Structure 1
Amino acid sequence: MKLATFTQGGRTRIGVVEGEQVLDISASGTVPTEMISLIEGGEQAMDGLRQVAGKATSFPLSAVALEAPVPSPGKILAIGLNYADHIEETGLDKPKEQIWFNKQRGSVNGPYADVNMPSVSHYLDYEAELVMVIGKRAKHVPRERAHEVVFGYMCGNDVSVRDWQLATPTMTMGKSFDTHGPTGPWIVTADEIGDPHDLDFTCHVNGEEKQRSNTKHMVFDCWDQIAHLSRAFTLEPGDLIFTGTSGGVGVAMKPPVFRQVGDVMKVAFDRIGTIENRIVAEKAETLIA
Structure 2
Amino acid sequence: MYFCTYNYKEVEEVGILDDSKTRVISLNEILINLNYEKVSSMNDFIDKYDENTIIQLKRNLKENKFTYLSLDDIKLCAPIPYPKRNIICLGKNYIDHANEIAGLPGADNEIPRFPIYFSKLAFPAIGQNDIILNHKIITDKIDYEVELAIIIGKDGINIKKENVEEYIFGYTIINDISARNLQRKHSQWFRGKSLETFCPMGPYIVCKSQIPFPVELDIKCSINGELRQNSNTRNLIFDISYIISDLSKGMKLKKGDIIITGTPAGVGLGFKPYKMLHSGDVIESYIEKIGTLINYIE
Q: TM-score, normalised by structure 2?
A: 0.90
Cα distance change on mapping 1:83 and 1:2 into 2, 3 Å? same
What residue number does 2:57 align with? 49
Please list, as runs of the form range in 1=range in 2, the aligned pairs for 1:265-280 lying within 5 A after superposition: 265-280=283-298
Cα distance change on mapping 1:32 and 1:48 into 2, 3 Å? farther
What residue number does 2:106 align with? none
Per the TM alignment, residue 44 of structure 1 is displaced from its structure 2 partner at its CA by 4.8
Partner-residue secondary structure (3-state), 2:15: strand
**Distance (whole Å) between structure 2 residues aligned to residue 202 and residue 246 of structure 1:** 9
What residue number does 1:84 align with? 95
Which deviates the most, 141-150 or 33-42? 33-42
What residue number does 1:25 align with? 27
Counterpart selection for 2:141 from 83, 102, 123: 123
**Distance (whole Å) between structure 1 residues aligned to residue 70 and residue 233 of structure 2:** 31
Cα distance change on mapping 1:215 and 1:174 into 2, 3 Å? same
Structure 1 unaligned runs (5+)?
281-289
**Distance (whole Å) between structure 2 residues aligned to residue 43 and residue 247 of structure 1:** 35
Conserved? CA contact 1:196–1:215, under 8 Å: no
Conserved? CA contact 2:91–2:116, under 8 Å: yes
Counterpart selection for 1:99 from 99, 103, 116: 116
What residue number does 1:284 align with? none
One-letter amino acid matched to 1:10: E
Per the TM alignment, residue 46 of structure 1 is displaced from its structure 2 partner at its CA by 2.7
Per the TM alignment, residue 23 of structure 1 is displaced from its structure 2 partner at its CA by 1.1
Conserved? CA contact 2:83–2:123, under 8 Å: no
Partner-residue secondary structure (3-state), 2:133: strand
What residue number does 1:113 align with? 130
Per-residue CA shift, 1:180-225, capped at 9, x if unaligned? 1111111110011022531011100001111000001000011111
One-letter amino acid matched to 2:101: T
Which deviates the most, 93-102 or 111-120? 111-120
Partner-residue secondary structure (3-state), 2:256: coil
Per the TM alignment, residue 105 of structure 1 is displaced from its structure 2 partner at its CA by 2.5
Per the TM alignment, residue 55 of structure 1 is displaced from its structure 2 partner at its CA by 3.2
What residue number does 1:134 align with? 152
Per-residue CA shift, 1:21-53, capped at 9, x if unaligned? 101232354342411121122135434533554
Per the TM alignment, residue 233 of structure 1 is displaced from its structure 2 partner at its CA by 1.8
Conserved? CA contact 1:107–1:176, under 8 Å: no
Per-residue CA shift, 1:117-136, capped at 9, x if unaligned? 11310100000110111101
Counterpart selection for 2:267 from 235, 249, 253: 249
Per the TM alignment, residue 153 of structure 1 is displaced from its structure 2 partner at its CA by 0.6
Counterpart selection for 2:165 from 147, 168, 172: 147
**Distance (whole Å) between structure 2 residues aligned to residue 12 and residue 104 of structure 1:** 22
Partner-residue secondary structure (3-state), 1:59: strand
**Distance (whole Å) between structure 2 residues aligned to residue 131 and residue 233 of structure 1:** 19
Per-residue CA shift, 1:155-189, capped at 9, x if unaligned? 11001110111223431001111111111111110
**Distance (whole Å) between structure 2 residues aligned to residue 155 and residue 112 of structure 1:** 14
Which deviates the most, 257-266 or 226-235? 226-235
Structure 1 segments of 4 or more deviating over 4 A? none
**Distance (whole Å) between structure 2 residues aligned to residue 169 and residue 137 of structure 1:** 33
Conserved? CA contact 1:38–1:46, under 8 Å: no
**Distance (whole Å) between structure 1 residues aligned to residue 27 and residue 166 of structure 2:** 26
Which deviates the most, 238-247 or 53-62? 53-62
CA RMSD of aligned residues (A): 1.5
Conserved? CA contact 1:107–1:177, under 8 Å: no
Q: In the comparison of the two structures, how many residue pairs are matched?
A: 280
Conserved? CA contact 1:7–1:65, under 8 Å: yes
Partner-residue secondary structure (3-state), 2:293: strand
Conserved? CA contact 1:25–1:33, under 8 Å: no
Per the TM alignment, residue 270 of structure 1 is displaced from its structure 2 partner at its CA by 0.8
One-letter amino acid matched to 1:67: C
Conserved? CA contact 1:13–1:33, under 8 Å: yes
One-letter amino acid matched to 1:57: T
**Distance (whole Å) between structure 2 residues aligned to residue 221 and residue 169 of structure 1:** 26
Per the TM alignment, residue 59 of structure 1 is displaced from its structure 2 partner at its CA by 0.3
What residue number does 2:4 align with? 4
Conserved? CA contact 2:122–2:198, under 8 Å: no
What residue number does 1:16 align with? 16
The share of aligned pairs that are identical, in percent, is: 33
Conserved? CA contact 2:81–2:124, under 8 Å: no
Cα distance change on mapping 1:104 and 1:13 into 2, 3 Å? same
